[in-house]
Amino acid sequence: MDQLKRKLYPLAAILIVIWVVEIINLFSGRALTDWGILPRTVSGLVGIPLAPFLHGSLIHAISNTLPLVVLGGLVLTTGEKRFVPTTIAIVLLGGLAVWLAARGNYHVGASGLVFGYFGVLVTRALLERSPLKILVGVVVVVLYGGLLFGVLPTRPWISFESHLFGLLAGIAVVWAENKYDARGGGTAA
């Protein structure tokens, strides 16, 4: 049981930070939201690593929590040594793409990371083709396939750009891992 708890620490840490920040943001009148990604501004660069921990509302934070737990938990099953760099890469790559190409509004929320985890799990199933990863990929698509509509610009107050670039970052991370592993640089877990 202690080993399981230790394995869950990285995901638990993300969730704890999200909720501590959400409580502070709630009581500050959403003052922390200005620390999100504001595209093509110098101050907006700070938002790249911070945006996943900031949310526009309590409902926004709540709606990201369950998919973050489920999809992040599935990504975490490949091990903490793979989970941490994957998470960092999704946050930085997806966030940089939002900073470069998104609409000129603040972009906040963990949904880019959620979409990144979705991309990781489905891409690993397609590229690695182990029976377990295919099963996980199918379950993820069945449970969360509707997320893909989130990459469309359907509502002006939702950052479809964070969703799209998070998904693409997750795909890119797995593609890069597999290229590296194919050259003998590492082994896939």
> For position 111, what pLDDT does the model report?
97
Are 74 and 41 spatial neighbours (Cβ–Cβ below 8 Å)?
no
**Domain presence at residue 7:** yes
Residue 16: how many CB atoms within 10 A of its CB? Answer: 11
Name the helix (H) or strand (E) containing 27: helix 2-27
**Domain presence at residue 188:** no
> For position 67, what pLDDT does the model report?
96
- Distance between CA atoms of residues 35 and 95, nearest Å: 13
**Domain presence at residue 105:** yes
> For position 189, what pLDDT does the model report?
44
**Domain presence at residue 101:** yes
**Domain presence at residue 149:** yes
The tokens for 179 are 């290229």
Give the pTM: 0.92
Q: How many domains does the chain have?
A: 1
Residue position matching structure tokens 């998470």: 87
**Domain presence at residue 189:** no
Are 103 and 158 spatial neighbours (Cβ–Cβ below 8 Å)?
no
Quote the domain boundaries for residue 145.
2-182
> For position 186, what pLDDT does the model report?
57
- Residue 155, CB-side half-sphere exposure with 13 Å CA sphere: 6
> For position 47, what pLDDT does the model report?
98
Are 151 and 160 spatial neighbours (Cβ–Cβ below 8 Å)?
yes
> CATH number, domain at 133?
1.20.1540.10
- Distance between CA atoms of residues 89 and 74, nearest Å: 17
**Domain presence at residue 32:** yes
Q: Mean pLDDT score of the chain, rounded to an integer?
A: 92
First-residue to last-residue Cα distance in the chain: 22
Residue spans of beta strands (DSSP E) within the chain: none
Ranges under pLDDT 70 in the chain: 1, 182, 184-189
**Domain presence at residue 10:** yes
